[in-house]
A and B are shown apart, each in its own frame.
Chain A
């Protein structure tokens, strides 16, 4: 089958023929229909996020179950599914605590570049070929843990459903699970890519006002407003992002700031623009070696909450069908998220468009 392999950091993806084994116990073989192109994949390609290479990237996908291994009960061949990149184990400390987003086993899979139990189902002529986040969906087919497939209504277009595998769930969950935004709360979103737009539209759904969008690409203004932003700040027009947000929130500061870029300056600005006792939520994935600095006296004296949100702190088996239900009833907009489709053979073009910010979300269609 054809797949996009990242051989080494700072290289383009190589679209080539690879081998895929049949699914083992508690594994599912999915024929991919669509896979979104996400910044996290790009970070791996740039060497900013170390994972075992060579690997087949792609973690935001949807497709149809083709074959199931032994002991698989949650899906059967023919089921339409969204892939979850946190195939939580259900029995570690965090899973038992009700925080499957922090599952230890899922983190181990990320580090080892394999499936649970150190199993590898991918191979090619040039030696070992790693899995990525238990998904590896930049391929015509993939084998994933059964905990990493979420069955969905087959009436939903799979190229829309794919985005719920990462961007939509991450943005939705940050607002709903991490921040608990309430009607009338002010929300500021730094970064208007695929995840940021979903923070914006979920904030709108939660009744937030104002919703201030910030991006360094002025062209994102219209898109941000389509998804519910009430104001747009072009980050290139001011070195200081805090002052304009303070001005737009009656001099108080924003109730919630969501940082969706993963850069030092914007993480520090997110904390700074939040009002006293407000909350800054860091969603953007920074390189592991990066540090940020905050005023220490402000921790007690301003009592802001500074936290992160990983995969929207979601329970994918609950949240993904819930989000798709909101889409089917017109409450969440997935149609305007996909602005460009590509074939697998043109996947590197999709990444160029991603970094140039010319698309909300590019999707590979198989």
Chain B
């Protein structure tokens, strides 16, 4: 069974995650690096854009938006939505996933990989949000 039956279901979870982490250390580092990161998912198909460069309405460090086509980004990570879920839930060894071809990366990978050590608190938030929504 696929983890998410629709893009809406996945977007609903990520929207809440973004709201809870937009002022976190990870978001702050994204802002300091001035990075725009895209996650391109398949089955269901949609794109997540984490923008740490453009100014935000509420002064937070980053914004997260959802798209059908790939907007301009410094780096993009393409995978199935199932593999995307593994990433957000903290069950992915990113270098291994890249080597196996489960995730295909393009662009400023080195800059983006520097942020990985800051991600574990995000994983916790993602897993909590899923629990609250009775998904995981």
In the complex, chain A residues whose CB is within 8 Å of the CB of B79 = 240
- State the main secondary structure of chain B at its contact with A: mixed
Contact with A along B63-100 (1 / 0, CB 8 A): 00000000000000001111100100000000000111
Verify A243–B86 contact, CB threshold 8 A: yes
Contact with A along B35-74 (1 / 0, CB 8 A): 0000000110000000000000000000000000000000
In the complex, chain A residues whose CB is within 8 Å of the CB of B83 = 239-240, 243
Contact with B along A273-295 (1 / 0, CB 8 A): 10000000000000000000111
Q: How far is the CA of A142 from the CA of B81 in the complex (A)?
A: 52
Q: How far is the CA of A298 from the CA of B102 in the complex (A)?
A: 12
Contact with B along A227-259 (1 / 0, CB 8 A): 000000000011110110000000001000000
A138 interfacial by beta-carbon distance below 8 Å? no
Verify B100–A272 contact, CB threshold 8 A: yes
Verify A238–B101 contact, CB threshold 8 A: no
Tell me how many residues of B have a C-beta within 8 Å of chain A: 16
Interface band, chain A: 10 to 19
Closest to B99 in A: A298
Verify B82–A272 contact, CB threshold 8 A: no
CB distance from A245 to the nearest CB of B (A): 10
The residue that A240 contacts in the complex, of B1, B82, B98, with Cβ under 8 A, is B82
In the complex, chain B residues whose CB is within 8 Å of the CB of A268 = 101
B2 interfacial by beta-carbon distance below 8 Å? yes
The residue that A295 contacts in the complex, of B1, B82, B86, B98, with Cβ under 8 A, is B98
Q: Counting chain A CB atoms within 10 Å of each CB, which of B1, B42, B86, B99 scores highest? A: B99
Q: How far is the CA of A273 from the CA of B101 in the complex (A)?
A: 9
Verify B101–A295 contact, CB threshold 8 A: yes
CB distance from B96 to the nearest CB of A (A): 9
In the complex, chain A residues whose CB is within 8 Å of the CB of B2 = 237-239
Contacts A237-B1, A238-B2, A238-B82: A243 and B102 contacting too (C-beta < 8 A)?
yes
7 inter-chain pairs at a CB distance below 8 angstroms, sorted by A residue, are: A238-B82, A239-B42, A239-B43, A239-B81, A269-B101, A271-B100, A293-B104
Q: Which residues of B contact A (CB under 8 A)?
A: 1-2, 42-43, 79-83, 86, 98-102, 104
Q: Which residues of A contact B (CB under 8 A)?
A: 237-240, 242-243, 253, 268-269, 271-273, 293-295, 297-298, 301-302
